[in-house]
Amino acid sequence: MKMIVQFCWIDPVKSKDLELPRYHSAKASGLDVAAAVDEPVVLNPGQIDLFPSGFSVAIPEGYELQVRPRSGMAIRHGVTVVNSPGTIDADYRGEVCIGLINLGKEPFIISRGDRIAQLVLAPVVQAQFELVAKLDHTCRGDGGFGHTGK
C-alpha cells in the first residue's frame, strides 16, 4: 500500500545535492533521511544535537511519521535517535529535524548527505479517555517493571 505524503525542500537551491528520503530496498518500511548540515559536525560521546533535514512534509490526517534510528549507526557507533521513536504529527509544517545522541565511546562525525535516521509512516488512533471508578481485573493486575523475572 502506498500513501501520498507531500514533500517540500526548505531551500531547493541549497538542497539540490541532497537525496530525497527514500526506501533502500523493495520491502523496506523506513525512508532514509540525509543530514542537511553545511559542514561536518562532531557528535561527542554523551552529546545530543539536532540535525536539519532541509525539508518539510504534509502528512495525511490520521497518520504520523515516526523517526527511528538507523540500525548500523546504533550498533556500530552507539549513535541513535534521542527520543526514539520521535513523532512528526500531521499538522506540523516546519523543517524535519533529527535529534541524535552518541551513546558510544568515540566521537562520531556527521557530514552533509549522511543518512542519519529513518522515517516510518504509521497510522494514528486517538484515544478518548473515559473516567471510571474501578478497572476490570486481569491475571497480571498491577505487576510491572520486571515482575515476571529475567
Residue 65 near residue 119 (C-beta atoms within 8 A): yes
Q: What residues in the chain have per-residue pLDDT under 70?
A: 149-150
DSSP-derived letter for residue 91 is T
Task: Write down the pLDDT at residue 141.
Answer: 79
CB of 77 closer than 8 Å to CB of 43 = no
At 67-99, the pLDDT tens digits run: 999 999 999 999 999 999 999 999 999 999 999
Q: Which residue has the cell 515516526?
A: 66
Give the per-residue pLDDT at 150.
66
Report the side by side order of strands in the sheet with 63-68.
Answer: 31-34, 115-123, 63-68, 86-88
* CA atoms in the 13 A half-sphere facing the CB of 132: 6
- Residue 92, pLDDT score: 97
Q: Which residues contact 89 (CB under 8 A, 6 or more apart)?
A: 59, 64
pLDDT the model gives residue 146: 74
Size of the chain in residues: 150
**Residue 136 DSSP class:** P
Under CATH, which number does the domain 6-123 receive? 2.70.40.10
Q: What nine digits make up the cell of 139? A: 491475571
The grid coordinates listed for 144 are 510491572
